[in-house]
Amino acid sequence: MNLMYNPLFQPLTFRSGLQVHNRIVMAPMTNWSSLPDGSVSDEELRYYERRSGQVGMVITACAYVTPNGKGFHGEIAADRDELIPSLQQLASAIKAKGSKAILQIYHGGRECPAELVPERDVVSAGNVPSVQNPTVIPRALTRTEIVSIIKDFGEATRRAIEAGYDGVEIHGANRYLFQQFFSPHANNRDDQWGGSLTKRMAFPLAVVDEVKRVVAEHSKGAFAVGFRFSPEEAESPGIKMSDTLEFVDVLAARELDYLHISLMDIWSHPRSGNDLNRPRIEIINNKINGRVPLIGVGAIRTAEEALKVFETGIPLIALGRELIIDPDWVQKTQDGQEVDITLSLTKEAQKALVIPDPMWKTIVNSPPGWFPISEYK
């Protein structure tokens, strides 16, 4: 495959002026490897260093913006100023290799394990437990608390700017707090933050506006703001494609730098709506209609598969497991070499791939089919 002039390796300039040197993005992936206080560990730094440089930009694992938003053991924190030096270490490690560094900011809401939340006070848009965390009945956030969390996202953005990141990604996907506000399953409020579709959009849009306000006030150069979303929910009632299309329409008009869809399979079809025979990514990209770049992700393993996605009009391609398995995916693709798409579960492989122990344990214990495995040991 002659990739000398492959468009995957052409630069892209975002609305903010931030430029990436190619169209390949390292997807945000939880690695469970930060220290208990939320600071970045040495092995986490080495993991990111190994995967930086070749990709145009690296989106970090999610960083919680307030103590009651911590959703994982070993999660990065961006909830207080004392962590700015730690955040700066990670940004510098990524940028020193030549990739742009994007900090993903987040609140877990009702998905947070109670033992990780102060006073075990798990909060959400409403008081409905999730399918994934059914034993915990969350407390509905008060209006005052909602306003406070909106400001917390702004403060985390300021810290990202001071730490030297090139942008932030607001994590509105994967069942976490933004999706909980948008979801008719999780959000059973009857005030300005819930009820109608427009009111269920209010919280994520308020955070977008606050983040953009902080960027305008504090950033001295190009600083990107992206938003990640999940298109549908399996629950009933739940988010439908029609809801997401209206939400995406509003987001596309918000002058963001990019939107980032969360999919397990890039070519998956909708559960709902009038167009069940077309991939979700195509339906949503048509709705966006070029107003904002869209990042596509989901089981894209080879250069040919990535190029196929790009040629459908998706300008940025995110890789997750592929960069865990082969951190040199981009360089090999540029050189026309074959990319490794199977993982050997040996300690030698872990060391060569620079994968932190907590992340490696999760991979080893992952469900069949989650990783393409070539060898067990």
pLDDT for 5: 65
Helices within 253-377 (DSSP H only): 280-288, 303-311, 321-325, 329-334, 347-353, 357-364
Q: Is residue 151 part of a domain?
A: yes
The span from the CA of 260 to the CA of 296, in Å, is: 7
pLDDT for 375: 46
**Torsions phi, psi for 187 (to 5 deg):** -100, 100
Q: Is residue 81 part of a domain?
A: yes
Q: Hey, which bits of the chain come out as E strands?
A: 12-13, 19-20, 24-26, 57-64, 76-77, 100-106, 123-124, 139-140, 167-172, 224-229, 258-261, 294-296, 316-319, 343-345, 373-376
Give the residue among 126, 10, 34 at the shortest CA–CA distance from 358: 34
Q: Is residue 100 part of a domain?
A: yes
Asked if omega into 237 is within 30° of 0 (cis), the reply is: yes
pLDDT for 230: 97
pLDDT for 132: 87
Q: Is residue 199 part of a domain?
A: yes
Q: Is the separation of the CB atoms in 27 and 48 below 8 Å? A: no
Q: Which segments of the chain have a pLDDT < 50? A: 1-3, 375-377
Full residue range of the structural domain in which residue 161 is found: 7-341
Q: Is residue 370 part of a domain?
A: no
In this structure, the strands spanning 343-345 and 316-319 are unpaired
For the domain that residue 224 is a member of, what is the CATH number?
3.20.20.70
The span from the CA of 199 to the CA of 202, in Å, is: 5
Number of domains, the chain: 1
Q: Is residue 29 part of a domain?
A: yes
Burial 317-341 (b: 16+ CB within 10 A, else e): bbbbbbbbbbbbbbebbbeeeebbe
Q: Is residue 197 part of a domain?
A: yes
* Tens digit of each residue's pLDDT (9 = 90 or more) over 63-116: 999 999 999 999 999 999 999 999 999 999 999 999 999 999 999 999 999 999
pLDDT for 339: 86
Q: Is residue 367 part of a domain?
A: no
Q: Is the separation of the CB atoms in 58 and 103 below 8 Å? A: no
pLDDT for 373: 61
pLDDT for 1: 44
